[in-house]
Structure 1
Amino acid sequence: MEQVLVVDRRKLEAQLPPKEFITEHVEQLHAFILEHHFFMDREKAEYDNTVKQIIPYVIIRQDGKYFLLRRLKKQTEARLHDKLSLGVGGHINPSEEAAGDVLDAGLLRELHEEVSVETVRSLTCVGFLNENNGGVSDYHAALVYLLEAEGQVSVLETEKMSGSWAEVPELEAVLDRLETWSKIVVEQVILAGVV
């Protein structure tokens, strides 16, 4: 059975201001998660509201365009089928624990499983997303990263996702089709000028 990284929800949320997306003190949150995480069976964690699963969530940008993903029906998380997403990422497993930073190791593994990026110019944590308005996000929180890419970018898990480039006006036009986290990222990160 798959094990995933979690933190105690009350302890985590005691560290956070009452906002969906925060940009301040992200390094301290990263350190808090490293110090206080543990692993739980994914099947239990997906519906346990005493914990939050921490997901690295990577937004890919190149020449002012964003890599927009469409989640297909073979994706593991049924609650996200047919949604559009800006985020590449997923659960962190105990196998990453041997790395110096379990969060960075999980981020890189997920990124390399899902997409191929010819050249990574930069990879920067731009904030922390903790949205609790129902559904998937009630059990997950995300460290949000911006990856500046050069060259070819393509989806590797073509049975689970398809991908294409979108300019900001195109993202605004599909806001109602974006999964919740991506909608928050468009509104509170991209349109707000955080990145």
Structure 2
Amino acid sequence: MNHQEKVLCIKRELLPAPWVQKKSVLNIDKNLFLQTCDQAGFEFKARGIIETDPSFKQIIPYIIIQTADRELTAAYLRNGSEQRLHDLWSIGIGGHINLKDCQTPSSFEQVLTTGMTRELDEELIKRPDNECPNFCGIINEEETPVGSVHLGAVFTLKTCDPDRFSPGPELMDFTWKRTETLAQLNLELWSRLALELIA
């Protein structure tokens, strides 16, 4: 983890209370989400400080890749910079949005979109150019140290050609799983919440 990296966050007290409950799984309109985050006033703070400060929520795009018929979902074993999630299966691709994703002046939507695109490009060596993520809602949990300082913005990316996706080194054991069998994996909590959201 780069402790000096400045990452996108919002003060918890400025977010709607239903978003930051012990367990929040909310289908909300994309425009409402973007407008609320814009009005709350997002900022960038050193990751090393706010990783242990639950008074801020780091906003994380969490992209689930599925076949168009939803029969298959991409999954991988955690092996990235977040040590606390290692050896858990995940269905979410994404990560912190940082200062380099922000052009001044910039709306929350611009920052989120730029950061999400960068994350996909970093995690996937190859992916179709014409398939874009669609916003589904938000997830939050306060049961784990990771969850207490992050808020997930969940997107789905539906593909007609799963063979055109090639994972980078951080997506260890990247594989397509039958969606109906995902619950049998040792999934990270966010993946379980995301599955509930998109069900």
Question: 1:67: which partner in 2?
Answer: 74
The code of the aligned residue for 1:71 comes to R
List aligned pairs for 1:43-192, cutoff 5 A: 43-62=48-67, 63=69, 64-72=71-79, 75-98=80-103, 101-115=110-124, 116-151=126-161, 152-156=164-168, 158-159=169-170, 161-174=172-185, 177-186=186-195, 188-190=196-198, 192=199
Length, aligned pairs only:
185
Question: 1:12: which partner in 2?
Answer: 15
RMSD, matched Cα: 1.9
CA contact (8 A) 1:59 1:66 kept: yes
The code of the aligned residue for 1:136 comes to V
User: What is the distance in 2 between the residues matched to 1:79 and 1:179?
Assistant: 10
Unaligned runs of at least 5 residues, structure 2: none
User: What is the distance in 2 between the residues matched to 1:33 and 1:78?
Assistant: 28
Structure with the larger RCO, 1 or 2 (CA within 8 Å, 6+ apart)? 2
Q: Which has the higher strand share?
A: 1
User: Aligned match of 2:26 in 22, 36, 54?
Assistant: 22
Post-superposition Cα deviations, 1:160-195, rounded to whole Å, max 9, x if no partner, equal: 533100112220221xx1001001122x134x3xxx
Unaligned runs of at least 5 residues, structure 1: none
The code of the aligned residue for 1:22 comes to L
User: What is the distance in 2 between the residues matched to 1:66 and 1:57?
Assistant: 14
CA contact (8 A) 1:15 1:29 kept: no
CA contact (8 A) 1:119 1:149 kept: no
Normalized against structure 1, the TM-score is what? 0.87
Question: 2:38: which partner in 1?
Answer: 34
The code of the aligned residue for 2:73 comes to Y
Post-superposition Cα deviations, 1:92-111, rounded to whole Å, max 9, x if no partner, equal: 11111116610111111101
Runs of 4+ in 1 over 3 A off after TM superposition: 13-19, 119-122
Percent of residue pairs bearing the same amino acid type = 32
